Amino acid sequence: MGLKTAVLGAAGGIGQPLALLLKQNPAITELALFDVVPVVKGVPADIGHVDTPAVTTGYVKDEDGLKGALTGADLVVIPAGVPRKPGMTRDDLFNINAGIVRDLAQGIADFCPKAFVLIISNPVNSTVPIAAEVLKAAGVFDPKRVFGVTTLDVVRASTMSAQAIGKPNSAPEYTIPVVGGHSGVTILPLLSQAQPALPKSLFDDEAKLKELVKRIQFGGDEVVQAKAGAGSATLSMAYAGYKFAAQLISAAFEGKTGVVAPSYVYVKGNADVTKAIGQDLAFFSVPVELGPNGVEKVHPLGDLTAFEKELLEACLGELPGSISKGESFIQGSK
Ligand code: NAD
Ligand code: LMR
């Protein structure tokens, strides 16, 4: 088995380290790197020297490169678009990134309609509905194959929880579902469902618990502030994006079973999700069991504590509007 993986936006802050990580996956035999800037030709020249199987090629938009990058792709990862600066919300990126994701999704519809699509570009809460609408209009939308990458929230939840309980080296031990969306209060970390359980003392200390949840929800701002105008999370995002891509590859192409990871996916009509959140939303990040078809099964959200129910209410105050904004961007232009 040899997989072709395309990275769209591969010359960027996320794209380059993500390409390097993907180059190290032995299942990938062709790595296609696409961007609007010509430096994307230099990235494969560089990582192409790494002694792993993937043959790595750069494609520039001006040279009709999207077709070359996408034709035959099994997996497409999209970190294309502008990042935040201090003082901006992710939604402030909509005006630029919506059109970028629309055009790239059209390329997927045209050149690799059966590929798994992993969307990183913000605002994820809206860009995933945009991609879905483009694919629907082209008659090729498969709700099991389109993923908004929310793994950075999952990674942050483990790291920040370990720090909060005074065991900063123990992050890898904690698996914590993070559901909802990928922006501020739409990010809903279910700390009560951590495996193994977080200490009871954390849940008894309301102020500390709230502080931890807020830190996970606004973790992106920490990085945006620290980079002071030079962008947002790139390296931890490349790690998280690769982590999810590798989970999907192992489950979809290598026969690994029991791979469950939260992702922002199409859940319209899913009775369990509707019951759990009280609305029939089109998209919600849920724990997804991955397999040959992509989304094989959506796992239950489980019992929420009273505090988590409050967080869910706040999430639902924002998320439906972000979904509609993305859908209308495509539907309104028809
Ligand atoms: P960046 O500016 O460093 O890189 C973006 C790249 O996209 C650039 O190389 C640019 O040339 C390219 N690009 C622009 N338009 C394009 C197009 N039409 N086709 C192909 N490539 C195009 O930005 P970054 O730091 O890598 O962030 C990229 C995006 O990822 C941002 O929208 C950011 O908000 C988002 N992000 C998401 C998460 C998440 O958790 N989902 C985390 C971090 C960043
Ligand atoms: C993040 O969570 O780090 C990303 O969504 C980038 C951002 O804008 O914060």
Question: Is the ipTM, as predicted for this complex, more than 0.90?
Answer: yes
Distance CA 5, CA 12 (A): 17
Name the residue at shortest CA distance from atom 33 of ligand 1.
83
pLDDT tens readout for residues 254-273: 999 999 999 999 999 999 99
Burial class (CB in 10 A: 0-12, 13-18, 19+), 96: exposed
Q: Give the three-state DSSP class for 180.
A: strand
Q: Is the pLDDT of residue 1 over 90?
A: no
Contact 128, 160 (CB under 8 A): no
Q: How confident is the model at residue 62 (pLDDT cuts 50, 70, 90)?
A: confident
271: which residues sit within 8 A by CB, 6+ positions away? none
pLDDT tens readout for residues 110-140: 999 999 999 999 999 999 999 999 999 999 9
229: which residues sit within 8 A by CB, 6+ positions away? 85, 86
If you search the block for the tokens 């706040």, which residue do you land on? 314
Average pLDDT over residues 193-211: 97
**In the beta sheet, which residues pair with residue 146?**
117
> What tokens does 237 get?
């995002």
155 CA to middle of ligand 2, Å?
13
Name the residue at shortest CA distance from atom 5 of ligand 2.
220
Provide the CA 317 distance to its chain's centre, in angstroms: 21
Average pLDDT over residues 288-303: 97
Q: How confident is the model at residue 239 (pLDDT cuts 50, 70, 90)?
A: very high
Q: Which pLDDT score is estimated for 333?
A: 73
49 is catalytic: no
Instruction: List residues near ligand 2 (CB under 6 A).
Output: 83-84, 90, 122, 152, 220, 223-224, 232-233
200: which residues sit within 8 A by CB, 6+ positions away? none
Dihedral angle at the C-alpha atoms of 18, 287, 83, 54, nearest 10 degrees?
20
> Average pLDDT, whole number, for the chain?
97
Which numbered ligand comes closest to the C-alpha of 104? Answer: 1
Which of 93, 186, 224, 264 has most ligand 2 atoms within 8 Å of CB, for mutation? 224
Identify the CA nearest to 153 among candidates 192, 189, 191, 120.
Answer: 189
Q: Percent of the chain, pLDDT > 70?
A: 99
Q: Which pLDDT score is estimated for 63?
A: 80
Query: Annotated catalytic residue: which of 4, 23, 182, 215?
Result: 182
Q: Give the three-state DSSP class for 309.
A: helix
pTM, 2 dp: 0.98
